[in-house]
Structure 1
Amino acid sequence: MRARTFLPAALAAALITLTGCGTGSGADDETASTSPSNASSPGQPSASPDASDTAATGSPAPQAIRFTATTVDGKPFDAKTLAGKPTVLWFWAPWCPKCKAQAAETAKVAADYAGKANVVGVAGLDRNEAMKDFVADTGTDGFPQLSDEKGEVWRRFEVIEQSRYVILDKDGKTVYEGVLPGGEGLAEKVAGLTG
């Protein structure tokens, strides 16, 4: 009987988190995990990489970036192209004011570190048309923006709320996961991985 009441409550709590815009606490968000988490190796590693798991460098791509997606413009995206450089994954939703506040700083970091680090937006929790409008309105079209309507990439990195960053080092290991209000501190985190 107890399991029956716990499950609906747990589902309701999860939906509340997903429909809000971040946690809103600020203080806890800034001190989010900076140590490796389960997101550093999503999915089960394959026993031996085959040709499809090989990055453009000819070396096996880290497990974390062995996925494909589609951009908001409908183009195919293979995450293995991110191999060998630090990568910022910015998880956002089109209707989220915190995400909109992060847009300018995220776009600046993408431009400032072009060629040294990857920045990829991962849009979710809405339809592709709204995602395209957000990209146009915020000027974040200078770096890839994935349309993750089904939440596959979000689940892969265990992201449960928008306005989150997942930062991977050049080896695909998660070195930061959390919220950076207004994108503050993002440039310093990327500089520490590229310097």
Structure 2
Amino acid sequence: MRTRALLPAAVAAILLTVTGCGADSGSDTGVGAEAGSPTAAQSSPRVPVIATGTPGGVGGAAVPEALSFTATTVDGKPFDAGNLAGRPVVLWFWAPWCPACKAQAAETAKVATAHRGTVSVVGVAGLDTNTAMKDFVAETRTGVFPHLSDEKGEVWKRFEVTEQSRYVILDKNGTTVYEGVLPAGRGLAEKVAGLTG
């Protein structure tokens, strides 16, 4: 029983050693991989995948490979990312114990509220228990958008995210247009406005 309780802390410690909380690894990118060329993480057998091109997004938009996955929210509800197809998507990867993530919360919620109906913002929580994730959402008042409980790291692996406090922004076609760290969320509003304006 003690080993089970220590597992989330051990995983977090290993990732902190490798990446650091909110450390800027210099791997921010302006443009992602070409549409239709999934990475090894995107084709992971652990991630449930919907067939590419399946209609199901906004207005019946085809679901790109990047959004062909399902998950569960921190509230225990099923989540189908395919429903986000056809509009820009901001994926915010965070951990409940990360101070850099807490610093991004207010700006991320502000952007989600300002662009409701035109851009989908989704938190992807990992590296801790679902209870800690729910507490983070309540404390940071970020319940204005859905948060996925990614305790096994499946969505993190899919997008090749190796550190918390990271954003992955997809255009309406599911192509990654930004991947990186935005300290305190600065610059997020401008990046999102560039996709909608």
Structure 1 residue matching 2:71: 3-state secondary structure: strand
Task: Measure how far apart 1:55 and its partner are.
Answer: 1.4
Q: Which residue of 2 aligns with 1:190?
A: 192
Task: Assess, with a 3 A threshold, how the Cα gap between structure 1 residues 95 and 14 changes in structure 2: closer, same or farther.
Answer: closer
Task: Assess, with a 3 A threshold, how the Cα gap between structure 1 residues 58 and 96 changes in structure 2: closer, same or farther.
Answer: same
Of 53, 64, 67 in structure 2, the residue corresponding to residue 65 of structure 1 is 67
Of 30, 33, 53 in structure 1, the residue corresponding to residue 29 of structure 2 is 33
1:13-60 Cα shifts (integer Å, max 9, x gaps): 866225x3121x5xx65x71112138973434x9x747xx32143342
Tell me the TM-score normalised to structure 1 length.
0.82
Of 154, 162, 165 in structure 2, the residue corresponding to residue 163 of structure 1 is 165
Tell me the TM-score normalised to structure 2 length.
0.81
In structure 1, what is the Cα distance between the partners aligned to 2:151 and 2:15? 17
Task: Assess, with a 3 A threshold, how the Cα gap between structure 1 residues 79 and 105 changes in structure 2: closer, same or farther.
Answer: same
Structure 1 residue matching 2:123: 3-state secondary structure: strand
Structure 2 residue matching 1:141: 3-state secondary structure: coil
User: Which structure has greater helix proportion?
Assistant: 1
> Does residue 93 of the first structure (1) align with residue 95 of the second (2)?
yes
In structure 2, what is the Cα distance between the partners aligned to 1:81 and 1:145? 15
Structure 2 letter corresponding to 1:41:
P
Q: CA contact under 8 A between 1:41 and 1:173: conserved in structure 2?
A: no
Task: Measure how far apart 1:117 and its partner are.
Answer: 0.3
Show the 5 A alignment for 1:9-24: 16-17=17-18, 20-23=20-23
Q: Which residue of 2 aligns with 1:124?
A: 126
Question: Which 4+ residue blocks in structure 1 deviate beyond 4 angstroms?
Answer: 12-15
Q: Which residue of 1 aligns with 2:155?
A: 153
Q: Which residue of 1 aligns with 2:55?
A: 54
Task: Assess, with a 3 A threshold, how the Cα gap between structure 1 residues 77 and 141 changes in structure 2: closer, same or farther.
Answer: same
Structure 2 letter corresponding to 1:116:
T
Structure 2 residue matching 1:90: 3-state secondary structure: strand
In structure 2, what is the Cα distance between the partners aligned to 1:101 and 1:126? 18
1:134-167 Cα shifts (integer Å, max 9, x gaps): 0000000010000000000000000000000000
Count of residues in Structure 1 that have an aligned counterpart in Structure 2: 175
